[in-house]
Structure 1
Amino acid sequence: MGGVPKMEKLWMQEMSWPEIKAKLQETDIVLIPAGSTEQHGPHLPLGVDTFIPIYIAEEVAKRTGVPIAPPIWFAPCEWHMGFPGTISIRPTTLISLLFDICRSLRRHGFRNFIIINGHTSGNNPALISAADEIQTEMPDVRVWVVDVVLMAKKAVLDVCEAEILYHADEVEASQMLVAREDLVQLEKAKKIIPKTKSRFIKLDYRPSDAELLFRPTAEDWRNLTSEGNIGDPTIASEEKGKVMMEALIENVVEFINDLKKDCNEPKRGE
């Protein structure tokens, strides 16, 4: 009797060890979704920064055959601690966690680790520091960080209309309408464009002529926004989300194909 064909497993935690061993015969690349558990206003869930990279990783895995490691749900996000539910860890904790994950997977044969980072500027400093430590201690390993905004920057700038793009905004709300529409409550969304004390304190991902790097405190963030978000999620749409997500997925797939091609090319002297 014919049955429903089984879908190929994408997630390592759903595979058996022989299945992982077989996967390693095909590739030494692994995807690691990294996000956060933090407030995203009244209109989005705490898991936005992890749900988005989970969706991206699954779509990339379907197109490339690369496995996905379990997601990292926690991140440095002290500036959001003024809102209930946020869980913040120290940057050093994230660095140590990623180091240990990559060290374990390296022992099995993985060599290229693609971190799909949904917590963007919140995680990037720790992830790059982790990459430095990992690649110093394990010279045969490479760590690649995919920022879900930077890796689709052209698409983001082309489709987004809001005055500023920052947090739980038009970008994230649109992406969530693709990744987890069931968790989006746009009827609760509000446009919030706060004023800062200096033009160099910029709350926008768009390029500017001059800006400072800074990190707000939890009190600073509460003073900037009563709702938690910064930007205009009210003009988010699934259509915008699809454009951004597809551009991001295609770019990651292209990069993986570049890695595979490089791995298959003969090295000098061979």
Structure 2
Amino acid sequence: MLWAERTWEELPGDLAAAANAAILPVGATEQHGPHLGAGMDFLLADRLCRDVAEATGVPMLPTVPYGCSLGHSRRWPGTIALDPVLTTRLVAAVGEGAYASGVRRLFIVNAHVTNAAPLRSALELLRAAHDDLMVALLNTATLSERVREAHFADAADWHANDAETSLMMALAPGVVRPDRLADADDPDRTEGLVFAHPVNRTSRNGVTGTPSSASAEKGARLFVWMVEDLAAIVRRGLAESPPLPHGYDEPAAIPVKA
């Protein structure tokens, strides 16, 4: 169910069979410490959404490989960042094109934490422009409580940590450098801070967490949870309708007591 492989004659039927829904994976290209490749986020978004598209029958739009990664600074090579406004406009433009093609339920699946605010802004723009378009923003690390616990187990402000490294060991071992794991650990230094500091002010090597404890077995188990839990959310969304009819603008008249 890959949008890029379907023709204009086939897509209308694909969408009709999937409640006019589509999945949009969004990742990032950014440094992930000395032991992980820079494409970790979009590789995860792409693989996760491919599996969920297959499980649910919902077409998957091409993965967006760039995101709002300004917080990673330029201390380490590898990060290619979009600013928040450009990220918002890009995803909103993709949503507009999907709408013109017949999509009325759009699941934006975000695999990079600091994409959240721009993607929420894109959701607001799309929702305001089209009263009959439903948009969901889902973050891969918090799809369910079990997925969240696995991601946050070694750090609250995690990055390139045990969970992410384990996922890549299971899904894309070619982006993992096992010989750099032993000295890649770096602690979370953000507890109690008032300001949101860039990564070059909180990490010595671009990592927050303990990637040295990662394993392919943990990654495979976590990925199964992520596919199961995202697929369940998508299936619920396919059957969802707004609590009130489209076009509801004014509250019901309040009876006036005599």
Change in Cα spacing, 1:165 to 1:237, as seen in structure 2 (3 Å) is farther
Q: Which amino acid aligns with 1:15?
A: R
TM superposition shift of 1:156 = 4.2
| Structure 2 match to 1:259 | 237
Q: What letter is aligned with 2:15?
A: L
In the superposition, relative to structure 1, how do residues 165 and 152 fare at CA in structure 2: closer, same or farther (>3 Å)? Answer: farther
* Contact 1:159–1:240 (Cα < 8 Å) also in 2: no
1:194 Cα deviation after fit: 5.0
Could you tell me which amino acid in structure 1 is paired with residue 219 of structure 2?
A: G
2:249 paired residue number: none
Aligned match of 1:169 in 161, 165, 173? 161
TM-score, normalised to structure 2, is 0.85
Gaps of 5+ in 2: 247-258
SS in 1 for 2:22: strand
2:83 aligned with 1:83: no
Q: Indicate whether 1:230 and 2:208 are aligned.
A: yes
Q: Distance in 1 between matches of 2:48 and 2:131?
A: 28
Compute the displacement of 1:160 (Å).
Answer: 7.0
1:92 aligns with 2:85: yes
Q: Tell me how far apart the structure 1 counterparts of residues 115 and 82 of structure 2 sit (CA, whole Å).
A: 11
* 1:163-204 superposed Cα distances (whole Å, 9 cap, x missing partner): 6560000111011122212211132121111545xx422xxx
Q: CA deviation at 1:141?
A: 0.8
Which residue does the alignment assign to 2:112?
Answer: 119
Q: Distance in 1 between matches of 2:126 and 2:111?
A: 21
Separation in 2, partners of 1:158, 1:95: 29
Which of 48, 59, 72 in structure 2 is aligned with 1:56?
A: 48
CA contact (8 A) 1:186 1:233 kept: no
Alignment partner of 1:193 is 2:193: no
Structure 1 residue 32 displacement after superposition: 0.7
1:225 is matched by which residue type in structure 2? S
**Does the CA-based 8 Å contact 2:155-2:208 persist in structure 1?**
no
- Report SS of the residue matched to 1:129: helix
Counterpart-to-counterpart distance in 1, 2:162 and 2:171: 14
Q: 1:51 to 1:152 in 2, by over 3 A?
A: farther
Indicate how the Cα distance of structure 1 residues 134 and 231 shifts in structure 2: closer, same or farther if over 3 A, else same: same
SS in 2 for 1:143: strand
User: Which residue is equivalent to 1:3?
Assistant: none
1:243 to partner: Cα distance: 2.4
Query: Could you tell me how far apart the structure 2 residues matched to 1:183 and 1:107 are?
Result: 37
Q: Please state how far the C-alpha of 1:239 moved relative to its aligned partner.
A: 1.9
For the pair 1:215 / 2:196, whether they are aligned, the reply is: yes
For 2:115 and 2:89, how far apart are their aligned partners in 1? 13
What CA distance in whole angstroms lies between the structure 2 residues aligned with 1:93 and 1:130? Answer: 10
Identity level (%): 24
Kindly indicate whether residue 98 of structure 2 is the aligned counterpart of residue 108 of structure 1: no
Query: 1:15 — aligned with what?
Result: 6
Q: Which runs of 5+ in 1 are unaligned?
A: 1-9, 202-211
* 2:135 partner SS: strand
User: Please, what TM-score do these two structures have when normalized by structure 1?
Assistant: 0.82
Residue identity matched to 2:84? P
Aligned match of 1:36: 28
**SS of the residue aligned with 2:17?**
coil
